[in-house]
Amino acid sequence: MTPLHTRFTHAFCLDTPIALAPMALASGGALAAACARAGALGLVGGGYGELPWTQREYQLALDSVALEARKRLGLGFITWKLDEDPSALEWSLNLPADQRPIAVMLSFGDPRPYAPRIARSGARLMCQVQRLTQLDHALEAGAQVIVAQGTEAGGHGATALEGRATFTLVPEIADYLARHAPQTLLLAAGGVADGRGLAAALSLGADGALVGSRLWASTESLAAPGAVAAALAARGDDTARSAVFDILRRKNWPPPYDFRALRNGLHRQWEHRIDDLRSHPQDARADYEAGVATGDFSRAHVTVGEAVGLVSDAPGAHEVIERMTLDARARLLKMSALLGS
């Protein structure tokens, strides 16, 4: 693969400015390892911090790559869940030096209590933010990479009331970092699923992109085949951000955040009756759980963002990354040539 280099690739010894989003229960060891082998940063989705899952999947990633590619493996955690149980993070930071994550990404909470321990381990701190008001805590924690997440993203993110679109959030944060923390790297997240999106992210001032939905639909992803099939048949119009699936799954997320997924039949049934669902969730939960048990994704959730309309197949992660990189590189070269003509 012809590389595409930015400050991010140079800092992390990558061939492409792509990082795998650490999607809980989807970005397992096989997917992270495939991304690392392809020259991207592979972040295992530590998510809710379950120690056995994190141990199994991160060890799988380590065992699946050559020694050199281990330098492209990291972990991502939900910060407010670490506040309840930091054992998975502590386990990873206590591994032998050649096995420790090269980067730890924290999202949805205050990273400052964990920053000193991460720094002492040698890992680089990545902090995901959804608003400029969250930047100061991330920079105070010593974040070396800021991930600017727009509301287009799949899974958890800021609510419509609190969130921002990727297209405006990224350049505004880029300007802020240029003034206040010019050495801090910036990744765009939310809606980046092809070479056009990657090229756009770089044009907006980012040093790379955190890619979720596009890699969620790949051979190595832990996403259920039925969920992937539903996603491949969907358009961006078919997703919605709400609290419905958090309530159904008993996930007590803090108020500024909710969950984007396919707007399936069960979601549509409750999306305008959130208060009723919170008050009396029993029947809806039973319906949801039956959908999960039978693989019925008209009831079970499919965790994808607005970029799902750009996803039409589910090849291996290496092919996804190569396509995105080559297309972004070609588009950037074409723009450069047009400007030079």
Mean pLDDT of the 164-178 span: 98
Scanning 141-237, the segments in alpha helix (DSSP H) are 166-180, 195-203, 213-216, 225-232
The count of C-alpha atoms lying within 13 angstroms of the C-alpha of 334, restricted to the half-sphere facing its C-beta, is 9
48 — pLDDT class (breaks 50, 70, 90)? confident
Q: Give the residue extent of every domain in the chain.
A: 7-223+314-340, 231-294
**CB of 21 within 8 A of CB of 211?**
yes
Q: In the chain, pLDDT over 90 holds for what percent of residues? A: 95
Mean pLDDT of the 112-120 span: 97
Taking each continuous run of H as one helix and of E as one strand, the counts in the chain are 16, 11
Inform me whether the pLDDT recorded for 100 exceeds 80: yes
Q: What are the residues whose beta carbons fall under 8 Å from the beta carbon of 204, sequence distance 6 or more? A: 167, 170, 171, 174, 188
pTM over 0.85: yes
What is the predicted pLDDT for the residue at 341?
55
State residue 247 phi and psi, 5-degree precision.
-65, -45
**CB of 75 within 8 A of CB of 92?**
yes
Closest alpha carbon to 301 in 278, 270, 275 = 270
What is the predicted pLDDT for the residue at 310?
98
What is the predicted pLDDT for the residue at 191?
97
Q: What is the pLDDT of residues 294-340, one digit of tens each?
A: 999 999 999 999 999 999 999 999 999 999 999 999 999 998 887 87
Mean pLDDT of the 90-103 span: 97
Write down the mean pLDDT value for the chain: 96
Q: Give me the CATH topology for the region 7-223+314-340.
A: TIM Barrel (3.20.20)
